[in-house]
Amino acid sequence: MSARSLLALIALGSVVASPELGAQWRVPPACEQLETVVRANPDNLDAAVALGRCVVRDEQIILAGGDSSRASFRSNWATAVRALRHPVRTDPALAAAYRPLMRMLFAEMRDGCDYVSGVCAFVAPIRRDGDSLITIPRLVVLNRPPDTYEVVRQESRPSRLANLTEARELATAWAAVAPNDYRPHQYLGQARLGLGDYSGSADELEQSAALGTPQSRRDLFWIEWRRSSRVIVGTMLGAFSTRRPATRRATPREFFSPSSPV
């Protein structure tokens, strides 16, 4: 999936799903109860964070009347983003709110999956309507052009500038109140990378490495590799990093363990 690092893609490439593996999946609960809590009390910051975490893990597709042309996601990114913005603006030091929010802001597309079969056969562009993120899934078309994922990525592009700009502003505010935390600098590095500020991205990633842990520095290797590669062969890397099989069987890790940092 587009927000995941190359390391995760390489690791997952060696996993072959099976019926036995599918039986071990822990299907995430629906997020409606958390939505109700947040709607009743937007100042419940813990509930807002829990809602964000729930929604970014929920790739479940609902087919109205079993019709693949009438697909929708079980959970709503617009609701989750709105809920998460309030905590980070109320308390910019609330670290737990950033990961699910940044994952949505950095996304180029949203995959839709069926937890019963384990097949991810739907994908949605990320469209921005005002300050809302809209994700409307479509069935992936097999074995004929145009490439569905490439079309979706192109459709997401007009909203990407605004999303990355928002991510940069949020990470900047976080870094101002948490000067010794490596994570806001890591997000800043990613945002600046996406915005084409390669020098600024390198500065932030170096700062993140200086403040970080051994694991965070290993994660940074792949971000820095991507930054350097974009400078040299930007368009080639863009095509490589977003191309995937038209449909594939998802693994439990793909559903529930998004790679760091988003």
CA dist., res. 246 & res. 8, Å (int)? 18
CA dist., res. 234 & res. 245, Å (int)? 21
The answer to whether 158 touches 86, Cβ cutoff 8 Å, is no
Q: If 0-12 CB within 10 Å is exposed, 13-18 middle and 19+ buried, where does residue 129 land? A: exposed
Q: How many CB atoms lie within 10 A of CB 168?
A: 22
- Reduced to 3 states (helix: H, G, I; strand: E, B; else coil), residue 174 is helix
CA dist., res. 236 & res. 230, Å (int)? 8
Q: How many CB atoms lie within 10 A of CB 117?
A: 11
pLDDT exceeds cutoff 50 at 8: no
- Of the candidates 140, 130, 118, the one whose C-alpha atom is nearest the C-alpha of residue 166 is 130
CA dist., res. 187 & res. 193, Å (int)? 10
Q: At 151, which amino acid appears? A: V
- Tens digit of each residue's pLDDT (9 = 90 or more) over 32-60: 999 999 999 999 999 999 999 999 999 99
CA distances from 130 to 115, 121, 240 (A): 32, 28, 31
Q: Which of the two residues, 92 and 231, has the higher pLDDT score?
A: 92
pLDDT exceeds cutoff 90 at 191: yes
- Tens digit of each residue's pLDDT (9 = 90 or more) over 133-161: 999 999 999 888 999 999 999 999 999 99
Q: How many CB atoms lie within 10 A of CB 46?
A: 13
Q: Where are the domains of the chain?
A: 6-256
Q: Which of the two residues, 6 and 35, has the higher pLDDT score?
A: 35
Which listed CATH number (3.40.50.1370, 3.30.499.10, 1.25.40.10, 2.40.50.140) goes with 6-256? 1.25.40.10
Question: What would the two tokens of residue 95 be?
Answer: 């670290």
pTM of the predicted structure, to 2 decimals:
0.76
In this prediction, residue 230 has a pLDDT band, given cuts at 50, 70 and 90, of low
CA dist., res. 156 & res. 17, Å (int)? 30
**Structural element, H or E, at residue 210:** helix 198-211
CA dist., res. 136 & res. 120, Å (int)? 15
Cα angle 112, 227, 169; round to 5: 70
pLDDT value of residue 256: 30
CB neighbours of 70 closer than 8 A, spacing ≥ 6?
63, 64
Q: Is the Cα dihedral 210, 212, 217, 220 positive or negative?
A: negative
Terminal-to-terminal C-alpha distance of the chain? 12
pLDDT value of residue 223: 66
Extract long-range pairs of 61-66: CB within 8 Å, 24+ residues apart: 61/112, 61/113, 61/114, 61/122, 61/137
- Of the candidates 54, 30, 51, the one whose C-alpha atom is nearest the C-alpha of residue 41 is 51
CA distances from 63 to 23, 68, 124 (A): 22, 6, 14
CA dist., res. 190 & res. 166, Å (int)? 12
In this prediction, residue 70 has a pLDDT band, given cuts at 50, 70 and 90, of confident
